């Protein structure tokens, strides 16, 4: 294989691979910007992957059959928002320790998805999933067309979420409130911002996005459901938010870096260089640790109150 | 005041337990199982015979060990989620040790094995401790990642370098190590069951951890660094060193749990030995209030839950993943309830509500309950 | 612009009660303010002033009592409701989000600039310009808050509150971070503003109260103890009312100078948290048996100097010599062992471990010494005995020495820290804002203790933002400005004005 072809392959495979990480991390970014560290992302993605898959698995005929994928994404996002709501209840209203609560939510979401899938689905079954849709005209551009414009439509939607998230965060009143409550909730409170309400909203939006990311895995990437389908992507997404310094553009860069590294490793294997399969699977996890080790905290930019519950009546 | 406080705390705990049970029941209903029947099987099934009871204790042994390690790390201000990976490293190291000296007598081999297991786990935990202390890497994320890495490494070794040569000969290729020499087996303390001498070790270590944390300067230092790192630093405690120590200890306990599990139950390294002890250990430690005196009963309680869940899987077809759901809910309930138990504001509101709803017996003394 | 409300002719609070766990913060408080009037709300730390004002600002809900505006009962459920009625509060800790710009901070609270999916930042910018020109409060709308000095932040906070349409301005200890000159300037500006609005001025500095206010209300232990016209009473009378008894804070009367230098800092350079050079060639000498006061506006390197002396902040260049030994860049443990005592700035998080018992906190630095441990085991009995004796000596008020230290009052926590440090017989003691936020009784006790150490030959470095405290206790006063010592003056000849100019960086030859 020539190197040009290999680069093309890596890029055109890597771009759709990045979507689940990207969307989940963009959602987690809203959580963290609002001051909540949601490690339950992994569990929400599991739920999303399962519920996204469910309509496509059950509805094979009838009028709804044409819309099973849309239905799946809606279910996944609704479940994600609900789990976000549960997490908000625990961490915002009950002010529980976020790190441990996140692990609880992860086990909860993962457990439910597994339990329900064992019961309703049984073994591993494939679905048709979302077909690719080349953007007319753009897909014909040599090289770039295949890399960027010849994927399933969800990929395009996901990439549009980057500027949308940026705009939402930096140019709208809601985004301003989110950034304020994550940095100095008491100040926001004195200015008439309902800190808890903003945090609830951010967690529900983040949850819905994590659910979306999960549904992408089962409907667009794997086209099947297994209970370990998320395989740590939720945790990687959390790490990407640090890496991207709480900025959607940085997060996009991180998500692409990760997925490209993964496809690079796959193509090296295909290319005949042999090393144990298990080590190849390890690579992204090792990469997370390396990336975290070399990401310094951007002190004045990020949400400085990350992880701390807010209690108005607590006297300072 | 104290009466109201007690009532309040009891109320919080009961509400949390009820909420957890209710959420579990909802999931059970969704899969068409009867919640009451399932809960009954879980909580009474294990006590039906000698086998059930001893099996509960068999499960409690690794839970105690892992829970002790988690308690040390949480008390020291570092949230170790990586016990699962540390257990695997402990299993690998202890198995390798036992297989390397097949002829050694028991009195030498067992301690060697446990030491190797503890060191293996400590090494794995120490990585996360080092990364947090020196480079500020969030330990929750790094330990989770280390879990995935350890799982792959474990599979790699059991499929490749450490695989039982008989498996290769017969061609079945089950990923498992050779059987350990008899000298590496822990004695069974109740005949015809799987209950082994690891229980005694776990109980002794529980006492040791209590002494360490509350009776020694080491423990004082760890707890000070964990409770308020800034103040500890001003007082001359080397907080970074304390974090690393805590992770070494936590990893060591998890690794030891792995070694004990191999030596006491399975007698060889196979896939699925840990079966989630690393995560259950977190629940046990939290449930036990991060104190050895609480962890031991909590481990037994979760032993019941694990054995009971196995039984429901066999009898009622409730998937084993259900145990994850229950554990997740229990964690969420515990951390929520914990904040409420210590929330003076909520207590105050409760006390006021209590008075208003007409219990004239309680005097109006709440007003000055605090410090002068 | 913000919900234009009619001018406030009269504000009345009647019978306000507010209870926090274990403490009655406001006990049946009533007060009133009329248009164009300045009411001073005076009281010790912990007297309930801030709680009362937070109720008025809609942040806390009173347990009972009523608020009425222009004779009409109102109920502020949220800060928004308070704004809508023209009540604005300037908090003691500025309520500005540091990683937002000035204009974003103003836009955050101005709900009428919030459109769906669009934020009218230009509207906010116009509003800021208007207000800052009208009241002569220059601010740069596009600066990030974290880039601004304390004085500038104060201005922004004032402009922000006025932008929200405040008719009644509540100022909570507005002068605590300012130099004397800046304080005079602010007071003059506020005086001018009374033409248009009413002001509630919270302070415990009675000369400022005297200078600015028309009437004064004094709170003690959450209850109103005095209500009257300012002009009729002397500061001394007000002080007696405030504390409930005659408190005369001890003064350092003797000025016999020792010459033995025990701590000497030369050309010290160190970086702050943001990477800026917070200490830039600082020289300082502390002598045995003296109190050296370090005056300065906060944020000029005090915190960093204290950290360096505790061994917690790396030194880039320069030296620290303690009793002749070079201790530059040594660990906190080495500093402690060398005999340096330390009372940190943030007593709740740096001075004690809040969840530890009083007993445990009293041995925080010595738990591993032979006195309290044998091999690696703690001598629990000895630790308890130590706590009981220190509790007696230092009058630490707690129900038992095994309660969590974090549950004690600020003054008592400070006594725990003081007891621990003094029991260690230090050669030099660094005290950082030792009386911030404690009541007069504790303040008196702490001052007496510091002077007693001085008598015993301990060198005391007193870092404080209260000029009065520094002038009362010090033998010599050093003024810190932008990471350097501008000048060291004998306390006997230093005047308030002179120090104020130095704190602002003005050195007249």
* Range in B71-75, C43-47, C140-144, C468-472 with the lowest mean pLDDT: C43-47
The answer to whether residue C509 scores a pLDDT higher than 70 is no
pLDDT tens-digit series, residues A48-99: 999 999 998 888 888 888 888 999 999 999 999 999 999 999 999 988 888 8
The answer to whether residue A298 scores a pLDDT higher than 60 is no
Please give the pLDDT value at position C25: 85
Please give the pLDDT value at position A222: 87
A282 neighbourhood in chain B, CB within 8 Å: 148-149, 152-153
pLDDT tens-digit series, residues C21-31: 777 888 899 98
Chain B, nearest residue to C25 by Cα:
B367
| Mean pLDDT, rounded, for B320-336 | 90
pLDDT tens-digit series, residues A215-236: 999 999 988 898 889 988 999 9
- As a CATH number, domain C254-339+426-509 is 3.40.50.300
> Quick one: pLDDT band at residue C152, thresholds 50, 70, 90?
confident
Distance CA B71, CA C238 (A): 54
Three-state secondary structure of C94-153:
CCCCCCCEHHHHHHHHCHHHEECCEECHHHHHHHHHHHHHHCCCCCCCCCEHHHCCHHHH
| Strands C87-90, C168-172: pairing kind | parallel
Q: Does this chain's domain C10-243 share its CATH topology with C254-339+426-509?
A: yes
Please give the pLDDT value at position C200: 93
| Residue C220 φ/ψ, nearest 5 degrees | -140, 130
CA distance C326 to chain A (A): 33
The answer to whether residue C3 scores a pLDDT higher than 50 is no
Burial B8-39 (b: 16+ CB within 10 A, else e): bbeebbeebeeebbebbbebbeebebeeeebb
A298 touches chain B (CB under 8 A): no
Of A171, A173, A190, the CB nearest to C79: A190
The answer to whether residue A139 scores a pLDDT higher than 80 is no
Which of the 8 DSSP states describes residue B182? G
Tell if the CB–CB gap between C377 and B230 is shorter than 8 Å: no
B141 neighbourhood in chain A, CB within 8 Å: 235, 238-239, 288, 292
Surface-to-core class of residue C488, CB atoms within 10 Å of its CB (0-12 exposed, 13-18 middle, 19+ buried): middle
Tell if the CB–CB gap between C59 and A171 is shorter than 8 Å: no
Q: What is the DSSP string of C207-256?
A: HHHHHH-SEEEEEETTEEEEEEEGGGS-HHHHHHHHHSS----------P
Surface-to-core class of residue A279, CB atoms within 10 Å of its CB (0-12 exposed, 13-18 middle, 19+ buried): middle
Please give the pLDDT value at position C7: 74
CA distance A183 to chain C (A): 7
User: Strand, helix or coil at C1?
Assistant: coil
State the distance between the two ends of chain B, measured CA to CA, in whole angstroms. Answer: 16
| Strands C428-432, C261-271: pairing kind | unpaired
Of C109, C117, C146, the CB nearest to A191: C109
Compare A311 and B298 and report the one with higher pLDDT: B298
State the distance between the two ends of chain A, measured CA to CA, in whole angstroms. Answer: 66
> Quick one: pLDDT band at residue C298, thresholds 50, 70, 90?
confident
CA distance A179 to chain C (A): 8
- Substitution target in B212, B234, B368 with the highest count of C β-carbons within 10 Å is B234
B321 neighbourhood in chain A, CB within 8 Å: 110-112, 114-115, 118, 227
Q: Write down the domain spans for chain C.
A: 10-243, 254-339+426-509, 351-425
Question: Which residue's structure tokens are 């090494």?
Answer: B123
**Best-predicted range by mean pLDDT among A279-293, B54-68, B346-360, C215-229?**
B54-68
A286 neighbourhood in chain B, CB within 8 Å: 145, 149
Of A179, A312, A313, the CB nearest to C100: A179
Contacts of B237 (CB under 8 A, 6+ apart): B221, B224, B225
| Mean pLDDT, rounded, for B180-195 | 88
Tell if the CB–CB gap between C349 and B228 is shorter than 8 Å: yes
Of C344, C378, C399, the CB nearest to B217: C378
A184 neighbourhood in chain C, CB within 8 Å: 95-98
User: Strand, helix or coil at B171?
Assistant: coil
Tell if the CB–CB gap between B218 and C376 is shorter than 8 Å: yes
* Range in A153-157, A293-297, B142-146, B301-305 with the lowest mean pLDDT: A293-297
| Contact by Cβ (8 Å): B152, A281 | yes
Given CA atoms A248, A252, A258, A262 in this order, what sign does their dihedral have?
positive
The answer to whether residue B111 scores a pLDDT higher than 90 is yes
From the list A69, A72, A213, A216, the residue with the least C-alpha distance to A128 is A69
Of A179, A315, A316, the CB nearest to C20: A315
The answer to whether residue B366 scores a pLDDT higher than 60 is no
| Mean pLDDT, rounded, for C86-95 | 88
Tell if the CB–CB gap between C353 and B232 is shorter than 8 Å: yes
Residue B71: give its domain's CATH number: 1.10.3470
Is residue B112 in some structural domain? yes
Joined tokens for residue C474: 């010090």
> Quick one: pLDDT band at residue C426, thresholds 50, 70, 90?
very high
Given CA atoms A111, A113, A114, A117 in this order, what sign does their dihedral have?
positive
The chains found to touch C (3+ Cβ pairs under 8 angstroms) are A, B
Please give the pLDDT value at position B368: 36
Question: Which residue's structure tokens are 């990207």?
Answer: A22
Domain count along chain B: 1
Cα A62 from chain centroid (whole Å): 32
Question: Which residue's structure tokens are 């060398």?
Answer: C338
Of A115, A286, A297, the CB nearest to B319: A115
> Quick one: pLDDT band at residue C310, thresholds 50, 70, 90?
very high
Please give the pLDDT value at position B369: 34
Tell if the CB–CB gap between C19 and B348 is shorter than 8 Å: yes
C397 neighbourhood in chain B, CB within 8 Å: 371-372
Please give the pLDDT value at position B357: 64
The answer to whether residue C308 scores a pLDDT higher than 70 is yes
Is residue B242 in some structural domain? yes
Q: How far is CA A196 from CA A93, B173, C51, C171, C224, in A?
A: 8, 55, 21, 27, 34
166-205 of A, contacting B, C-beta below 8 A: none
Tell if the CB–CB gap between C376 and B224 is shorter than 8 Å: no
| Contact by Cβ (8 Å): C67, C75 | yes
| Residue A232 φ/ψ, nearest 5 degrees | 85, 0
Joined tokens for residue A255: 């998500």
Cα A266 from chain centroid (whole Å): 22
Among the residues of chain B, which ranges form H helices?
2-30, 35-44, 50-75, 83-100, 106-135, 139-159, 165-170, 198-215, 217-227, 229-234, 239-261, 277-287, 292-316, 322-341, 344-356
A273 touches chain C (CB under 8 A): no
* Range in A136-145, A250-259, B129-138 with the lowest mean pLDDT: A136-145
**Best-predicted range by mean pLDDT among A20-29, B155-164, B348-357, C112-121?**
A20-29
| Mean pLDDT, rounded, for C397-424 | 89
Joined tokens for residue A233: 């992507």
C368 neighbourhood in chain B, CB within 8 Å: 217, 221
Please give the pLDDT value at position C255: 66
Superfamily of domain C10-243, CATH level 4: P-loop containing nucleotide triphosphate hydrolases (3.40.50.300)
Distance CA B148, CA A201 (A): 32
Compare A47 and B9 and report the one with higher pLDDT: A47
Please give the pLDDT value at position C221: 84
C272 neighbourhood in chain A, CB within 8 Å: none
| Mean pLDDT, rounded, for C368-372 | 91
A85 touches chain B (CB under 8 A): no
CA distance C80 to chain B (A): 24
H/E segment holding residue A250: helix A248-270
From the list C1, A293, A1, the residue with the least C-alpha distance to B127 is A293
The answer to whether residue B371 scores a pLDDT higher than 50 is no
Q: Average model confidence (pLDDT) for chain B? A: 88
132-151 of A, contacting B, C-beta below 8 A: none
Please give the pLDDT value at position C101: 93
The answer to whether residue B363 scores a pLDDT higher than 70 is no
Contacts of B274 (CB under 8 A, 6+ apart): B62, B84, B87, B88, B91, B258, B261
Q: Average model confidence (pLDDT) for chain A? A: 87
213-232 of A, contacting B, C-beta below 8 A: 227, 231-232
> Quick one: pLDDT band at residue B219, thresholds 50, 70, 90?
very high
A296 touches chain C (CB under 8 A): no
From the list C488, C433, C432, C422, the residue with the least C-alpha distance to C458 is C422
| Contact by Cβ (8 Å): A51, A79 | yes
Please give the pLDDT value at position A313: 67
> Quick one: pLDDT band at residue A297, thresholds 50, 70, 90?
low
Of C51, C109, C119, the CB nearest to A172: C119
Of A173, A183, A186, the CB nearest to C99: A183
Chain B, nearest residue to C421 by Cα:
B235
Compare B83 and C182 and report the one with higher pLDDT: B83
A108 neighbourhood in chain B, CB within 8 Å: 324-325, 328-329, 331-332
Query: What's domain A3-293's architecture?
Result: Orthogonal Bundle (1.10)
- Substitution target in B33, B128, B145 with the highest count of A β-carbons within 10 Å is B145
| Contact by Cβ (8 Å): C81, C61 | no
| Residue A47 φ/ψ, nearest 5 degrees | -60, -45
Chain A, nearest residue to B142 by Cα:
A289
A253 touches chain B (CB under 8 A): no
Contacts of C226 (CB under 8 A, 6+ apart): C216, C217, C218, C238, C241
Tell if the CB–CB gap between B231 and C352 is shorter than 8 Å: yes
| Mean pLDDT, rounded, for A38-55 | 94
C360 neighbourhood in chain B, CB within 8 Å: 220, 224
> Quick one: pLDDT band at residue C429, thresholds 50, 70, 90?
very high
ipTM of this complex: 0.90
Distance CA B298, CA B301 (A): 5
CA distance C27 to chain B (A): 12
- Substitution target in A109, A232, A285 with the highest count of B β-carbons within 10 Å is A285
Q: What is the DSSP string of B134-154?
A: HH---HHHHHHHHHHHHHHHH
| Mean pLDDT, rounded, for A255-259 | 90
Distance CA B198, CA B189 (A): 9
- Substitution target in C17, C22, C338 with the highest count of B β-carbons within 10 Å is C22
| Contact by Cβ (8 Å): A40, A83 | yes
pTM: 0.89
H/E segment holding residue A116: helix A98-120
The answer to whether residue C183 scores a pLDDT higher than 50 is yes
Burial B317-336 (b: 16+ CB within 10 A, else e): ebbbbbbbbbbbbbbbbbbb
Please give the pLDDT value at position A284: 85
Provide, rounded to the nearest whole percent, the portion of chain C with pLDDT above 90: 41
Q: Average model confidence (pLDDT) for chain C? A: 88
| Mean pLDDT, rounded, for C163-168 | 88
| Contact by Cβ (8 Å): C89, C53 | yes
pLDDT tens-digit series, residues C445-488: 899 999 999 999 999 999 998 888 999 999 999 999 999 999 99
> Quick one: pLDDT band at residue A316, thresholds 50, 70, 90?
very low
The answer to whether residue C496 scores a pLDDT higher than 50 is yes
CA dihedral (C401, C406, C408, C414) in degrees, to 10, reads 90
pLDDT tens-digit series, residues A93-119: 988 888 889 999 999 999 999 999 988
> Quick one: pLDDT band at residue C321, thresholds 50, 70, 90?
very high
> Quick one: pLDDT band at residue C4, thresholds 50, 70, 90?
very low
- Residue B58 belongs to domain spanning: 32-318
- Substitution target in A82, A289, A291, A297 with the highest count of B β-carbons within 10 Å is A289
Size of interface A-B (CB pairs under 8 A): 149
């Amino acid at each position: 294989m020539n190197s040009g072809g290999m680069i093309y392959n890596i890029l055109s495979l890597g771009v759709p691979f990045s979507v689940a990480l990207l969307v989940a991390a963009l959602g987690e970014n809203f959580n963290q910007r609002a001051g909540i560290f949601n490690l339950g992302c992994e569990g929400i993605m599991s739920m999303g992957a399962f519920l996204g898959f469910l309509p496509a698995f059950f509805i094979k005929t009838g009028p709804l059959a044409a819309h099973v994928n849309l239905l799946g994404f809606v279910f996944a996002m609704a479940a994600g928002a609900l789990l976000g709501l549960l997490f908000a209840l625990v961490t915002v209203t009950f002010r529980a320790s976020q790190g441990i609560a996140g692990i609880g939510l992860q086990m909860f979401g993962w457990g439910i998805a597994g339990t329900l899938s064992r019961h309703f689905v049984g073994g591993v079954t494939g679905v048709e999933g979302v077909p690719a849709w080349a953007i007319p005209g753009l897909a014909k551009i040599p090289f770039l067309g295949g890399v960027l414009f010849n994927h399933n439509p969800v990929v395009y939607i996901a990439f549009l979420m980057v500027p949308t998230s940026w705009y939402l965060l930096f140019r709208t009143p809601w985004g301003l409130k989110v950034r304020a409550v994550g940095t100095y909730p008491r100040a926001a409170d004195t200015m008439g911002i309902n800190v808890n309400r903003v945090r609830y909203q951010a967690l529900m939006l983040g949850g819905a996005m994590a659910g979306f990311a999960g549904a992408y895995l089962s409907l667009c990437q794997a086209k099947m459901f297994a209970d370990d389908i998320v395989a740590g992507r939720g945790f990687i997404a959390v790490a990407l938010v640090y890496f991207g310094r709480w900025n959607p553009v940085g997060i996009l860069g991180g998500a692409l870096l990760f997925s490209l590294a993964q496809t690079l490793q796959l193509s090296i294997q295909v290319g005949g260089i042999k090393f144990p399969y298990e080590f190849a699977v390890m690579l992204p996890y090792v990469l997370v640790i390396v990336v975290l080790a070399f990401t310094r905290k951007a002190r004045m930019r990020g949400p400085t109150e990350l992880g701390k519950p807010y209690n108005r009546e607590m006297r300072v | 005041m104290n009466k109201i406080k007690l009532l309040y705390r009891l109320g919080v705990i009961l509400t949390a337990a009820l909420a957890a049970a209710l959420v579990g029941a909802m999931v059970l209903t969704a899969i068409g199982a009867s919640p009451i029947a399932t809960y009954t099987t879980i909580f009474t099934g294990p006590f039906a015979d000698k086998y059930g009871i001893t099996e509960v204790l068999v499960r409690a042994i690794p839970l105690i060990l892992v829970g002790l390690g988690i308690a040390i790390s949480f008390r020291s201000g570092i949230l170790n989620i990586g016990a699962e990976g540390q257990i695997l490293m402990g299993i690998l190291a202890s198995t390798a040790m036992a297989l390397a000296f097949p002829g050694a007598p028991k009195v030498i081999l067992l301690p060697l094995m446990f030491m190797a297991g503890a060191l293996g786990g400590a090494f794995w935990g120490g990585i996360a401790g080092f990364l947090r202390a020196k480079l500020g890497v969030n330990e929750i994320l790094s330990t989770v990642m280390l879990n995935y890495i350890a799982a792959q490494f474990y599979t790699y070794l059991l499929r490749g370098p450490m695989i039982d040569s008989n498996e290769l000969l017969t061609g079945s290729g089950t990923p498992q190590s050779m059987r350990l020499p008899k000298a590496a087996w822990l004695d069974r303390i109740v005949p015809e069951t799987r209950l082994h001498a690891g229980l005694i070790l776990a109980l002794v270590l529980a006492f040791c951890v209590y002494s360490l944390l509350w009776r020694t300067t080491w423990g004082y230092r760890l707890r000070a660094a964990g409770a308020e790192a800034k103040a500890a630093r001003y007082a001359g405690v080397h907080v970074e060193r304390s974090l690393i120590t805590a992770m070494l200890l936590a990893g060591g306990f998890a690794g030891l749990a792995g070694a004990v599990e191999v030596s006491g139950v399975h007698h060889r390294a196979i896939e699925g030995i840990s079966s989630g002890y690393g995560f259950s250990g977190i629940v046990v430690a939290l449930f036990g209030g991060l104190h050895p005196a609480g962890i031991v009963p909590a481990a037994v309680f979760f032993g019941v839950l694990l054995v009971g869940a196995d039984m429901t899987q066999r009898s009622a077809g409730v998937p084993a993943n259900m145990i994850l759901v229950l554990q997740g809910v229990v964690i969420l309930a515990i951390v929520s309830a914990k904040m409420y138990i210590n929330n003076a504001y909520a207590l105050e509101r409760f006390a006021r509500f209590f008075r208003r709803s007409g219990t004239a017996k309680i005097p109006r003394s709440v007003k000055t309950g605090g410090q002068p | 612009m913000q919900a234009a409300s009619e001018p406030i002719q009269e504000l009345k609070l009647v019978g306000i009660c507010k209870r926090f766990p274990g403490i009655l913060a406001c006990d049946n408080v009533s007060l009133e303010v009329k248009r164009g009037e300045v009411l001073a709300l005076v009281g010790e730390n912990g007297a309930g002033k801030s709680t009362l004002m937070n109720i008025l600002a809609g942040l806390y809900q009173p347990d009972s009592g009523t608020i009425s505006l222009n004779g009409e009962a109102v109920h502020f459920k949220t800060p928004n409701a308070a704004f809508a009625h023209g009540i604005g509060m300037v908090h003691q800790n500025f309520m500005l989000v540091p990683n937002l710009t000035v204009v974003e901070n103003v836009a955050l609270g101005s709900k009428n600039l919030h459109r769906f999916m669009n934020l009218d930042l230009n509207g906010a910018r116009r509003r800021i310009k208007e207000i800052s020109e009208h009241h002569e409060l220059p601010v740069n709308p596009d600066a990030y808050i974290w880039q601004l000095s304390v004085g500038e932040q104060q201005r922004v906070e004032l402009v922000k509150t006025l932008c929200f349409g405040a008719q009644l301005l509540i100022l909570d200890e507005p002068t605590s971070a300012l130099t004397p000159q800046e304080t005079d300037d602010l007071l003059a500006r506020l005086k001018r503003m009374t033409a248009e609005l009413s002001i509630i001025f919270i302070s415990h500095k009675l000369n400022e109260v005297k200078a600015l206010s028309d009437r004064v209300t004094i709170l003690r232990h959450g209850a109103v103890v005095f209500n009257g016209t300012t002009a009729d009473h002397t500061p001394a009378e007000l002080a007696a009312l405030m504390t409930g008894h005659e408190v005369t804070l001890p003064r350092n009367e003797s000025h016999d100078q020792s010459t033995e230098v025990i701590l000497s800092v030369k050309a010290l350079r160190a970086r702050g948290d943001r990477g800026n050079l917070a200490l830039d060639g600082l020289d300082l000498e502390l002598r045995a048996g003296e109190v050296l006061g370090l005056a300065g506006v906060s944020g000029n390197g005090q915190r960093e100097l204290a950290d360096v002396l505790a061994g917690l902040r790396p030194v880039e260049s320069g030296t620290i010599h303690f009793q002749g030994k070079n201790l530059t860049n040594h660990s906190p443990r080495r500093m402690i062992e060398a005999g340096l005592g330390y009372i940190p700035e943030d007593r709740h998080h740096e001075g004690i471990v809040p969840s530890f018992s009083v007993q445990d906190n009293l041995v925080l630095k010595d738990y591993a010494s032979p006195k309290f441990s044998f091999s690696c085991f703690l001598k629990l009995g000895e630790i308890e005995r130590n706590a009981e004796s220190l509790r007696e000596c230092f009058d630490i008020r707690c129900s038992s020495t095994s309660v969590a230290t974090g549950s004690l009052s600020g003054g008592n926590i400070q006594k725990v820290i003081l007891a621990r440090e003094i029991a260690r017989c230090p050669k030099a003691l660094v005290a950082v804002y030792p009386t911030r936020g404690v009541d007069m009784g504790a303040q008196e006790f702490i001052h007496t203790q510091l002077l007693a150490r001085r008598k015993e030959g301990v060198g005391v470095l007193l870092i404080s933002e209260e000029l009065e405290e520094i002038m009362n206790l010090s033998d010599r006063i050093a003024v810190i400005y932008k990471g350097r010592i501008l000048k060291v003056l004998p306390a006997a000849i230093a005047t308030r004005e002179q120090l104020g100019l130095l704190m602002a960086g003005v050195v007249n030859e």
